[in-house]
Amino acid sequence: MALIQELDTGTPIRLAPLQVALTIDGRQVSVPAGTSVMAAAATMGTQVPKLCATDSLEAFGSCRLCLVEIEGRRGTPASCTTPAEEGMVVRTQTPKLARLRRGVMELYISDHPLTCLTCSANGDCELQDMAGAVGLRDVRYGEGGANHRDAPTDESNPYFTFESSKCIVCSRCVRACEEVQGTFALTIEGRGFASRVSPGGTDFFGSECVSCGACVQACPTATLNENSVIRMGKAEHSVITTCAYCGVGCAFKAEMQGEQLVRMVPSKHGRANEGHSCVKGRFAYGYATHKDRITKPMIRERITDPWREVSWEEAIGRAASEFRRIQATYGVDAIGGLTSSRCTNEETYLVQKLIRAAFGNNNVDTCARVCHSPTGYGLNATLGTSAGTQDFASVGEADVILLIGANPTDGHPVFGSRLKKRLREGARLIVADPRRIDLVKSPHVGAEHHLALRPGSNVALLNALSHVVVTEGLVDEAYIRERCDLDAFEAWARFIADPRNAPETSENVTGVPAAEVRAAARLYATGGNAAIYYGLGVTEHSQGSTTVMAMANLAMATGNIGRRGVGINPLRGQNNVQGSCDMGSFPHELPGYRHVSGDAAREIFEKLWGVGLRDDPGLRIPNMLDEAVQGRFKGIYVQGEDPAQSDPDTQHVTAGLLAMECVVVQDLFLNETAKYAHVFLPGSSFLEKDGTFTNAERRISPVRKVMSPLSGHADWQITMMLSDALGYPMRYDHPSQIMDEIAATTPSFAGVSYEKLERLGSIQWPCNDAAPAGTPIMHVDRFVRGLGRFMITEFIPTDERTGARFPLLLTTGRILSQYNVGAQTRRTENSRWHAEDVLEIHPFDAESRGVVDGDLVALESRSGAISLKAAISDRMQPGVVYTTFHHAKTGANVITTDYSDWATNCPEYKVTAVQVRRTNRPSDWQARFYEEDFSLTRIADRLDAAE
Ligand code: SF4
Ligand code: SF4
Ligand code: SF4
Ligand code: FES
């Protein structure tokens, strides 16, 4: 294995249909019109010397190193800024050019520290390469003159260093921050000789920088360099793999020294990210080798006992014998399991297989239950498939973007950068969110309409938007006649045209002025290609599924599904939440979303697995916990999930876990759920195994092993061991064989194989005979269900109401630097940006409670109370407060309720009636959390009470 080198064409290759043919150094080449001479030369293998150009950025033309001669033209134009033209004859190497280039390089080197042998970029420095390429042998200018060799070094960022003495002021970093990331954190200060790169006059850590790494990636010298490279030196081989954080699914080169990870470099060939990254995937991988990793299996009799390290055989044997004992005592349905949306498709497939074939029931569920299950339900009911309709690149052709309940610059940052780029190109944005998220107003982009609705009123708002479309004659009638179920449309049109859905009526519920809603609806319906992107602010409501259907209605009514630039796109939370749903992690569905009661689908698996399968749906997570509290559900296998922290109403969750006789947790760390476990099986990180993840655009991407599992086994192997011990042996030597089985049983994966993934890089399902290379855009000529079905979406307010006791509404979300329950990111330097969860509160609400910024406040709901610091923010609307849930010690889910989506049980995380008041002490729950012997004292008390 070697380091993977990706070709840098210097400037982007254009996508124009018209080709132009030219001659470069005597060879003919043909490129799309608009492509630069430099990029044209690169496509035929000729690298024109360059410094200020790199193909992730538009040409800049400042270094003058890329000069060429063109027949019939005077002078020596810069090849990076000169478009290739039909019939052009170009020479890239002549004595004159060589002389000019050496002169340029001499000037650069005369103001550059000559410490190459000890420089961290030695061997990976474009300046060094160019000195070699132009044959620089001598620098005539002495070292005595004015120079920048003493310029200061900025080490404030935990992940990279800015050694400005090495800066050649090529501006690649500044342009990367603008063009790729869209943050505009960097500027060139000063003029001429005095010009220097600056992160806004402060240091990097104190600036607007979000540590995406784009500037580090773009820098041709060691000026901006990863601290890990400075510490460890250059990698010797690299492997392409997929980020294990969010549903964007960025491809990275894991650059290695043996089994040590040196750095993660975003891959230009990753279709989801095209060479970009965010602070999590790029830098926050240190958790994988953190000292907190548990690498030995452990067991204990009672959860108040200390853990005891044991062999794999003993731990697996204990789990299996306990599960069988429980089933013999309490019945076959008394156990179940949770698959992980952090694990691979292959691992998830095996866990549901274990439960269905070895446990003998359908008691399997996944964390998608608590995030995007309404997406599956709503899109399936209206369009016929449980997934987003577009690829990410499609946003580049959107004219109007309706963003609902999502905050991509924090939650899905690389997609957020794509979106900002499209907005800078002129697309128009409508944001529907209770909070003023960054995209409402950030450098060079902003929302034309911010519909700052009250939490819980999504359906009323979407109905109002559709009401305007229908009553103002903005419906795409031809599209509906051709593509949709007309009876369903007519019934829906009558419903939606009713005055109860008019913006003037719903204004009282949503709080959004009717005129604003009308203007936004007109823009969505008439502004060209209109695309909807949404997140958990849509799904995590008691009407989550209704909201998804309401979006589908709006998109169908305006003809905005089935081509590039339009569609309905869930921004999925976890890296493999799409995959875990696809793989049959729900209690009512086999892989490929086929209901367990369907004989034909069940028979496929029965034949292959050699067992009879149950045709009745099993228990969902909340039902498993309810049944546990009732004494009927006694054992659970939890792979890579932490329901004790992530699920709503923590006290109910822990009561359920506490009531079980065998909780088996398979994870990297002793998480909150492990406090209630009897068997702990050490899991493996994404760096330690092969497999695939499926991202939010249905893209199946390879995950590749770069180091041995610290515990000795990958997660798929652990599930196999457990299955063997339960008397249902599984025989796979490699995850590719599991994928072959998935392909053989699941129509949308029929054409997927590791060989094809190796060849194509990634594949969007459906992938089958009709679409052997996958399907970037769904529902192109017809909907998957045949005719698109409009659904009646009556607005029904949540039962969670504000009142005198709990007058405010709490809504929750994420922040860029942390990830979900924080198990990974809290074990990295990312915590320097977000060390604790805080409560954002509007100045009016704060003042009326005597709360000032930084005060400790008690946050109380009907479910419980926690305390955290207040952050006064006019991002909030009065009456609404907001927090994140990244830190276990905050216990945000202690206060969320058990209300959930009517169709899927997805919890209503986004709406909790609360009160806020000043306090001077932690809540009772937190006080117990902080007790040193938290897990023993508290649990022992509760066990005693239970007995
Ligand atoms: S790390 Fe990203 S956000 Fe920060 S300065 Fe560099 S490009 Fe800009
Ligand atoms: S820091 Fe690097 S990319 Fe930025 S101007 Fe200096 S040399 Fe160029
Ligand atoms: S955007 Fe998501 S997938 Fe991409 S690097 Fe960041 S966390 Fe990873
Ligand atoms: S690479 Fe063309 S001017 Fe710098």
Pair 639, 735 in one domain? yes
**pLDDT band for position 947 (cuts 50, 70, 90):** very low
pLDDT digits (tens, 9 = 90+) for 627-640: 999 999 999 999 99
pLDDT digits (tens, 9 = 90+) for 842-869: 999 999 999 999 999 999 888 888 899 9
Pair 552, 604 in one domain? no
pLDDT digits (tens, 9 = 90+) for 87-131: 999 999 999 999 999 999 988 888 888 888 898 888 889 999 998
Residue 273: inside a domain:
no
Mean pLDDT of the chain: 92
pLDDT at 932: 44
DSSP conformational letter for 98: H
**pLDDT band for position 896 (cuts 50, 70, 90):** confident
Distance 158 CA to ligand 1 centre (A): 13
Pair 712, 751 in one domain? yes
Q: Which two tokens stand for residue 308?
A: 């005891």
Pair 610, 522 in one domain? no
Instruction: Report whether residue 387 contacts ligand 2, using a CB cutoff of 6 Å.
Output: no
Residue 197: inside a domain:
no
Say yes or no to pLDDT of 938 above 60. Answer: no
Report the 10 Å Cβ neighbour count for 46: 17
Report the 10 Å Cβ neighbour count for 380: 18
Decide which of 806 and 895 is more confident.
806
Beta strand pairing call for 679-682 and 662-667: parallel
Q: What is the CATH number of the domain that holds 526?
A: 3.40.228.10
Q: What is the CATH number of the domain that holds 44?
A: 3.10.20.740
Span 900-911, mean pLDDT? 77
pLDDT at 936: 44
CA 396 to chain centre: 19
Say yes or no to pLDDT of 72 above 90. Answer: yes
CA distances from 838 to 797, 887, 911 (A): 28, 10, 17
* Alpha carbon distance 773, 919 (integer Å): 59
Q: Which of 312-326, 356-370, 933-947 has the lowest mean pLDDT?
A: 933-947
Say yes or no to pLDDT of 937 above 50. Answer: no
Beta strand pairing call for 335-339 and 308-309: unpaired
Say yes or no to pLDDT of 258 above 70. Answer: yes
Contact 76, 100 (CB under 8 A): yes
Q: Which atom of ligand 3 is nearest to the CA of 248?
A: 3
pLDDT digits (tens, 9 = 90+) for 669-687: 999 999 999 999 999 999 9
Pair 529, 561 in one domain? yes
Say yes or no to pLDDT of 474 above 90. Answer: yes
Q: Which of 215-224, 736-745, 812-821, 925-934 has the lowest mean pLDDT?
A: 925-934
Span 39-60, mean pLDDT? 96
Q: Which long-range contacts (CB under 8 A, 24 or more apart) does 751-756 make?
A: 752/700, 754/702
Length of the chain measured in residues: 947
Residue 720: inside a domain:
yes
Adjacent-strand bridge partners of 401: 429, 531
Pair 486, 399 in one domain? yes
Q: Which atom of ligand 4 is nearest to the CA of 79?
A: 2
Instruction: Report whether residue 281 contacts ligand 3, using a CB cutoff of 6 Å.
Output: yes
Which has the closest alpha carbon to 678: 317, 933, 398, 338? 317
**pLDDT band for position 536 (cuts 50, 70, 90):** confident
Span 312-339, mean pLDDT? 97
- The count of structural domains within the chain is 4
pLDDT at 370: 67
- Looking at all shown ligands, the one closest to residue 224's CA atom is 2
* Alpha carbon distance 237, 912 (integer Å): 50
pLDDT digits (tens, 9 = 90+) for 643-657: 898 777 788 899 999
Say yes or no to pLDDT of 134 above 90. Answer: no
Residue 153: inside a domain:
no
Cis amide linkage into residue 766, ω under 30° from 0: yes
pLDDT digits (tens, 9 = 90+) for 784-804: 999 999 999 999 888 888 888
Instruction: Report whether residue 65 contacts ligand 4, using a CB cutoff of 6 Å.
Output: yes
> Looking at 59, 75, 93, which one is the last position of a domain?
93
Q: Which two tokens stand for residue 849?
A: 């409670």
Pair 561, 580 in one domain? no
What percentage of the chain exceeds 70 in pLDDT? 97
Contact 402, 569 (CB under 8 A): no
* Alpha carbon distance 327, 635 (integer Å): 9
Q: What is the CATH number of the domain that holds 655?
A: 3.40.50.740
pLDDT at 934: 45
pLDDT at 541: 75
Distance 457 CA to ligand 3 centre (A): 30
Distance 212 CA to ligand 3 centre (A): 10
Instruction: Report whether residue 278 contacts ligand 3, using a CB cutoff of 6 Å.
Output: yes
Pair 563, 581 in one domain? no
Residue 945: inside a domain:
no
Span 811-830, mean pLDDT? 84
The owner of tokens 């080198």 is 5
Distance 921 CA to ligand 4 centre (A): 60
> Looking at 570, 586, 617, which one is the last position of a domain?
570
* Alpha carbon distance 59, 44 (integer Å): 19
Domain extent, residue 870, equals 808-936
pLDDT at 931: 60
Pair 328, 431 in one domain? no
Distance 899 CA to ligand 4 centre (A): 59
pLDDT digits (tens, 9 = 90+) for 574-623: 899 999 999 999 999 999 999 999 999 999 999 999 999 999 999 999 89
> Looking at 736, 764, 792, which one is the last position of a domain?
764
Q: Which two tokens stand for residue 544?
A: 């989550």
The closest residue, in CA terms, to atom 8 on ligand 3 is: 281
Q: Which of 60-74, 115-129, 254-268, 426-440 has the lowest mean pLDDT?
A: 115-129
pLDDT digits (tens, 9 = 90+) for 682-721: 999 999 999 999 999 999 999 999 999 999 999 999 999 9
* Alpha carbon distance 118, 783 (integer Å): 61
Which burial class, exposed, middle or buried, applies to 311 when counting CB atoms under 10 A from its CB (0-12, 13-18, 19+)? exposed
Adjacent-strand bridge partners of 809: 880, 913
Report the 10 Å Cβ neighbour count for 835: 13
Q: What is the CATH number of the domain that holds 919?
A: 2.40.40.20
pLDDT at 941: 52
pLDDT at 935: 47
Pair 384, 514 in one domain? yes
Pair 470, 497 in one domain? yes
pLDDT at 943: 47
Adjacent-strand bridge partners of 882: 811, 840
The owner of tokens 């607007």 is 208
Alpha carbon dihedral 897, 901, 907, 910, in 10-degree steps, equals: -80
Say yes or no to pLDDT of 939 above 70. Answer: no
Pair 561, 674 in one domain? no
Q: Which two tokens stand for residue 142?
A: 């002495």
Give the DSSP H or E segment for 554.
helix 544-557
**pLDDT band for position 930 (cuts 50, 70, 90):** low
Residue 323: inside a domain:
yes
The closest residue, in CA terms, to atom 2 on ligand 2 is: 219
Residue 135: inside a domain:
no
Q: Is the dihedral of CA 870, 875, 878, 883 positive or negative?
A: negative
Please report the DSSP string for 311-326 in residue order: -HHHHHHHHHHHHHHH
Adjacent-strand bridge partners of 349: none
Span 761-790, mean pLDDT? 95
Residue 114: inside a domain:
no
pLDDT digits (tens, 9 = 90+) for 912-929: 889 999 988 777 776 776
